[in-house]
Amino acid sequence: MRVRLRIAVLAVAALLVAGVAAAEPLGSYFTLTPFAGYTTFDGNLRFPGSNPLKDDVYAGGRFGWWSKRWWGIEAAAGFTPTREDVPGGADANFWHASGNLLLIPYKSRAGDAFVFGGYGYGSLKPTGGGSDVHYGTVEVGGGVRFWMTDAVGVRLEARNVSLMQKDPTVDFLFNNLVLGAGIELALGATPRDTDGDGVPDKKDKCPNTPKGARVDENGCPLDTDADRIFDGLDQCPGTPRGCVVDARGCPIDSDGDGVCDGLDKCADTPKGAVVDKNGCPIDTDGDGVYDGLDKCPNTIHGCTVDASGCPKDSDGDGVCDGLDKCPETPAGAKIDVNGCPIEIMEKETEMLDTGMIRLQNVNFETDKSDLLPEDFATLDVVGEVLEKWPALRIEIGGHTDNRGSAKHNQKLSEARASAVLTYLEQKFTKLKPEQFSVKGYGKSVPLAPNTSELNMAKNRRVEFVVQNKDVLKREIERRRLLQQNETLPAPVSAPADTTKKP
């Protein structure tokens, strides 16, 4: 009955300890266990006389080595002061010591269970004098351990110490039960590293480091490139400081220009554009189309370009729009560096030098005022010149040879001059009707005697005569100063229109 009660007490104690256990030594380690309990002696064991021994307290210790896995070895020893279980019985001491192999069938952080078996030595010694009795022992048993920390635990154990003795006729075997508990101290265990960062918990100032992150000597994660993704987890460890990164620690480049978000000062760069170190598109030729997208990267500054960055040349004269000072040059016309037909320059020079432009190659239907298609290019040159001189007042004069009557020729020449003005006003809408007047001279002002076909062709002509030549004089003076690199007055412009409109 007493034995059952003691077992129940130990079981309850084990459950209480299990409720708070939350640790265990790691790796292989030594243990040292001061141990106390109670010894229940075999009823057949008689010492020092013929009486059984009284059950009594037990004191001892255990010293062992435990492997990383499921076994260990241990030395156990202890003694019980006892006496014969009769009134006035003699006192005695029970001793034992053994070496044991331990097996661990169950192991967890909550605790472990173990069984053991081994051989040893035992003795009974009377305290009042007399001879000792020595035995060989077989010790078997088991128990549980509950760890309070990684170095300190509670051990509960039941051990059967079998005393073996031979006499000439029979072998004796006495089974003595030791129940007890001890404080088990783990020595030399591997320090616990809960987060697996290589720094023991007791030194780890950052105990919840993510698995795989590299840490400093204090167990705190390293982030060399300061992108908030720890070294060891960072798949792009050399990220420039300031870059926005993804969950892997790699820079994000939303517009794909090679400059990461966070450093990119032009975050919406079109795909394919070449950028500077700030992520801003480069436009080397200044045409408004970025390098990398510009299919004509060396466009002359000032040219108008298309969406591909290539210069536009609306009139196909080889001088790009934007630099072309004569953007509607007729097809096939010879031009100067400004995109203006050379004929225009020649006609403008003629006007400045003579105060007029004379056309002797304007052809009409015979005895009619209808212009022929081959006249259009010649008249277009004159229209280009006159559009540049909105301040001039021009008389368009028609002339014929001497064939036919004077009245007929005068009327025909006026009709032809009017046809020329009508063409110019329709083709060149910037010309103002109030700039022009029309007059027919017929055959009254010949350039040469009408004695040959060549001379008569010279007399058949159209003349654009400047009526306000002071405008031409001012422009001539301006150009002279330009050649001398002097300060120039403003170019001649149209005077304010003070005429009343109907």
pLDDT at residue 84 tops 90: yes
Tell me the three-class secondary structure of 414-452, residue by residue.
HHHHHHHHHHHHHHCCCCCHHHEEEEEEECCCCCCCCCC
Mean of the pLDDT values across residues 278-299?
92
Mean of the pLDDT values across residues 265-294?
92
Q: What is the DSSP letter of 221?
A: B
- Give the list of residues 6+ apart from residue 473 with CB closer than 8 angstroms, or none: none
CB 215 within 8 A of CB 206: yes
At 423, the pLDDT band (50, 70, 90 cuts) reads very high
More confident residue, 446 or 24: 446
Q: Rounded CA gap, 24 and 192, in Å?
A: 9
Share of the chain above pLDDT 70, in %: 91
Q: Are strands 436-442 and 133-147 parallel, antiparallel or unpaired?
A: unpaired
pLDDT at residue 12 tops 60: no
At 167, the pLDDT band (50, 70, 90 cuts) reads low
Nearest to 243 by CA among 222, 223, 266, 259: 259
Mean of the pLDDT values across residues 1-15?
48
- Give the list of residues 6+ apart from residue 229 with CB closer than 8 angstroms, or none: 223, 245, 247, 248, 249
Q: Find the range with the poorest average confidence among 36-50, 222-236, 320-334, 457-471.
A: 320-334
DSSP string, 335-363: B-TTS-BHHHHHHHHHHHHHSEEEES---
Q: Find the range with the poorest average confidence among 91-100, 268-277, 427-436, 469-478.
A: 469-478
At 112, the pLDDT band (50, 70, 90 cuts) reads very high
Mean of the pLDDT values across residues 137-151?
95
Model pLDDT, residue 163: 94
The residues that bridge with 122 in the sheet, in sequence order, are 96, 135
Q: Does domain 355-483 have CATH number 3.30.1330.60?
A: yes
Model pLDDT, residue 296: 94
pLDDT digits (tens, 9 = 90+) for 174-192: 999 999 999 999 999 988 8
Model pLDDT, residue 239: 94
Share of the chain above pLDDT 90, in %: 65
pLDDT at residue 14 tops 50: no
CB 55 within 8 A of CB 38: yes
Q: Rounded CA gap, 469 and 492, in Å?
A: 12
Architecture of domain 2-187: Beta Barrel (2.40)
Mean of the pLDDT values across residues 368-381?
89
* pTM for this predicted structure: 0.50
Domain boundaries, the chain: 2-187, 355-483
Mean of the pLDDT values across residues 345-353?
89
Average pLDDT over the chain, rounded to whole? 88
Q: How far is CA 248 from each of CA 129, 208, 229, 244, 336, rounded to the nearest angstrom?
A: 82, 19, 7, 11, 63
pLDDT digits (tens, 9 = 90+) for 290-332: 999 999 999 999 999 999 999 998 888 889 988 988 887 777 7
The residues that bridge with 177 in the sheet, in sequence order, are 40, 160
